[in-house]
Structure 1
């Protein structure tokens, strides 16, 4: 009988220890966790925002889609190695490039081709050139980079390739930025891509 009482006491202690964390997060028995990335401590655990998981919300969840909604071109080469892009046009102002963008996947397949262009665009004077992607471009592969290209639209011949640079739509530690900046000083390119995410 005595051994059964001792067993009951031990069982009661173990049960109290196991269930000691009540639904009240302010309970003295609930160990507080510092939740990262905007997580909140609720009911003895971290309630993680979309895109994060783990005991303290420290682990990013790979999105199912990265969606590009807008591209803002800020820097591009004003000349073609010192020559006007539209060299056949005698007026210097009209010889400036008529810019548009394309995006290619890692196999160099064009997945976005802007239907509009900016006529006689010039870089470096505080004017930016916005391209709203309609419909938005949904990217679902993240292992390889994409290629962002700037072109000069030409009404009299083939369009002139101006510059390009690669970018990754997602990395496992990028904290889901609202804007992906594609920039290379040597390539004379600076483009901000506005993005959203789905999981």
Structure 2
């Protein structure tokens, strides 16, 4: 009888040990997944970085907010159809535009109006004009376009509208760039926008 009990105990211990090893080995032999977009394969699954989801981190998560922090104006029209922007000023150098920017939403409401301008700015000579957006523009709607406008500030007359172009800040496959470029040859406009994201 004692031998029988001993054999049963021994059999129970061996069965538990075998099943435990079998379970561990299954977890060690899980199928490896190639994680995209900087994801890391840990514990048989992909741990996705912020902004991505899915089995292999291939799906973008739409951000809750996109923030425009800076606009770098690189190209704008130096003349108004061949005329200086400030016709009343006799000196050519001083007749160059004093540029500033505004942003509008799709309803054409102004959502940002720069409080600073660059005096006698000229485009095309390798000089860029940086506008730090303060307070920054926080966008929560991405399906509609926004407009960036460039103006010539005037002290005597009304400010001159120089050029404008529409842009989208987000698409479902754009990989969250830190900078987007708003460009239009026909409108003589090239502006880099520096962005950040919140989810």
**1:125 counterpart residue number:** 125
| Pairing 1:180–2:164 present | no
Q: Deviations over 1:76-99 (max 9, x none)?
A: 000000000001110000000000
Q: Write the distance in 1 (CA, Å) between the matches of 2:140 and 2:119.
A: 33
Q: Deviations over 1:70-117 (max 9, x none)?
A: 000000000000000001110000000000000000000000000000
Q: Write the distance in 1 (CA, Å) between the matches of 2:45 and 2:185.
A: 46
Contact 1:21–1:44 (8 Å) recurs in 2: no
**2:34 counterpart residue number:** 34
**1:142 counterpart residue number:** 142
TM-score (normalizing by structure 1): 0.87
Taking the TM superposition and a 5 Å limit, the aligned residue runs for 1:1-199 are 21-22=26-27, 27=28, 29-199=29-199
Higher Cα radius of gyration: 2
TM-score (normalizing by structure 2): 0.87
- 3-state SS of 1:94 partner: helix
Q: Write the distance in 2 (CA, Å) between the matches of 1:103 and 1:135.
A: 13
Shift of 1:42: 0.6
Shift of 1:169: 1.2
Q: Deviations over 1:118-167 (max 9, x none)?
A: 00000000000000011111000001000000000010111000001000
In structure 2, runs of 5+ residues without a counterpart are: 1-18
Question: After TM superposition, what 4+ stretches of structure 1 lie above 3 angstroms from structure 2?
Answer: none
Please state which structure has a larger fraction of its residues in helix.
2
Q: Write the distance in 2 (CA, Å) between the matches of 1:72 and 1:139.
A: 19
Shift of 1:45: 0.4
**Quick one: structure 1 residues 32 and 184, their matched pair in 2 at CA, closer, same or farther if it must change by over 3 Å?**
same
**Quick one: structure 1 residues 21 and 166, their matched pair in 2 at CA, closer, same or farther if it must change by over 3 Å?**
farther
**Quick one: structure 1 residues 122 and 107, their matched pair in 2 at CA, closer, same or farther if it must change by over 3 Å?**
same
